[in-house]
Amino acid sequence: MDIAGVHASVLDEAVVAEIAAMRDPVLRNLWITQTYAELADRLLGALHTDQTWCTFAVWASDTAGVSIRSQELPHGVTELLDGAGHHVDAIVERSGDHHPLVGWLAAPLRHAHVEALVHRALGQVSDHIAHGNALVYAELAPLFVRLVDRLDADGPPPADRVDALLGDIGVPTLADEPLVHTAFRSYAAAAGTADPAERAQFVLTANVAAVLHEQQRLQDDIAASLDAGLVDVAGEIDGLFHRLLPAPLRKILVARTVARVADHVEALWDHVATRLLMTMQTPTETLHLGVDVPAPLGAPLFPELLERLDHPPLVDLMMQWDRTRGTGRGSGARDWSRLHDRMGYIVNLFRSRQQVLELTTPPFDADQLAAMADGRVPADVWSARPPS
């Protein structure tokens, strides 16, 4: 596949379609991340100081890439298990505590078995995250490309031409896709206003609508990725006993073993999933999604222009999805598989970081982009953004 156009920063719908169709999920994710970075930079030119959904999508896609690449990089399992050794030890020890009559027959799990189980689970996580990453990209990236092309060519639309612009670039109607329509209408309106306070609230409205649409699309994949049952100890134990014991006795032993190790398996997977899926690295900080959104370094939690919200569509969205009621306290997601928990964190993150310009730092350097343009995954991508 010829994606040299992306490397040359000539981003158009044809290139987006090529990226969406790539079969290698790792390389596709890297190009998705790069696409969002280019779109974010171009949109910032039209919106001055306000970051869009594309900016946050860069680092969300980058985080997803760690999950996607984990299937290809077994050594990553060792990094992810760091700090959970006592759970691995307990699983190994308790899995060998069989009934005396069969203990001499049955081999217990070993550390290598547990690592193999986690790696197998990560493969399933990788598939789910890669699917969601590509799904949202194929749907939204073409619309963003058309929007930035139109803004670059014609400049910001006057207020009475916003709806015409949306029709021209193929944004779905309010009836068909209300969140997508609200997002792009608000971005277009933001580009056309000279009032910084009004623009900030238009952009936040667009960002919240866009991310809500995204998170609804990702719900099934995220829930599946966080399922602790992915670590299939029962299947592994059954396989170890398969040639040694008849099915009825094997079933009893598997049930007993799983009961003994279940708490440690769940704790182990929670540890892995938290490090893998609930930690986001940005150019300025490492964010832990299970704790409250922190204030940006040396700044209040929310920028001055977003301290008070009075734009009716934005107020409605925040009333529905910000459980902190504008305080940021309690924004940490208790259960990332629940849409309301995720959104409670995300809306506060977006509001607090919307005017942090450092977020537009490019995700890849020239050498990494050159490797990607050659159809290769850069060797240093994993080491550049390890799990935290």
CA distances from 325 to 266, 307, 313, 321, 351 (A): 33, 12, 16, 9, 13
Average pLDDT, rounded, for the chain: 88
CA gap 122, 196 in Å, rounded: 44
Alpha-helix runs per DSSP H in the chain: 4-7, 13-20, 25-47, 53-70, 75-81, 85-95, 100-103, 111-154, 162-169, 178-192, 196-225, 233-241, 247-277, 312-321, 339-353, 366-373, 381-384
Structure tokens at 305: 């222009």
Q: Which residue has the higher pLDDT, 203 or 101?
A: 203
Kindly indicate the confidence band of residue 258, based on its pLDDT and cuts at 50, 70 and 90. Answer: confident
> Residue 6 pLDDT more than 60?
no
Give the model's pLDDT for residue 250.
78
Give the model's pLDDT for residue 342.
94
- What DSSP element (H or E) covers 286? strand 286-288
Q: By mean pLDDT, which of 40-44, 308-312, 376-380 is the weakest?
A: 376-380
Q: Is 131 helix (H, G, I), strand (E, B) or coil?
A: helix
Average pLDDT over residues 281-296: 93
On whether the CB atoms of residues 3 and 12 are closer than 8 A, the answer is: no
The proportion of the chain whose per-residue pLDDT surpasses 70, expressed as a percent, equals 90
> Residue 240 pLDDT more than 80?
no
**Residue-by-residue DSSP string for 309-337:** ---HHHHHHHHHH-TTTTS-TT-S-S-TT
> Residue 124 pLDDT more than 70?
yes
Q: Which residue has the higher pLDDT, 158 or 383?
A: 158
Q: Which residue has the higher pLDDT, 320 or 241?
A: 320
Kindly indicate the confidence band of residue 1, based on its pLDDT and cuts at 50, 70 and 90. Answer: very low
> Residue 108 pLDDT more than 80?
no
Residue found by looking up tokens 């609930």 in the block: 278
Kindly indicate the confidence band of residue 275, based on its pLDDT and cuts at 50, 70 and 90. Answer: confident
Average pLDDT over residues 252-276: 83
Give the model's pLDDT for residue 251.
84
Q: By mean pLDDT, which of 3-17, 108-122, 129-143, 222-236 is the weakest?
A: 3-17
Q: By mean pLDDT, which of 78-87, 126-135, 314-323 is the weakest?
A: 78-87
**What residues make up the domain containing 57?**
4-384
Highest mean pLDDT among 90-104, 218-232, 322-336: 322-336
Q: Which residue has the higher pLDDT, 253 or 23?
A: 23
Average pLDDT over residues 257-271: 86
* Beta-bridge mates of residue 287: 280
> Residue 366 pLDDT more than 50?
yes
Give the model's pLDDT for residue 5.
45
Kindly indicate the confidence band of residue 4, based on its pLDDT and cuts at 50, 70 and 90. Answer: very low
CA gap 237, 242 in Å, rounded: 8
Can you give the pTM of this predicted structure? 0.87
Give the model's pLDDT for residue 349.
98
The structural domain count of the chain equals: 1
CA gap 122, 140 in Å, rounded: 27
> Residue 274 pLDDT more than 90?
no
Residue found by looking up tokens 């398969």 in the block: 242
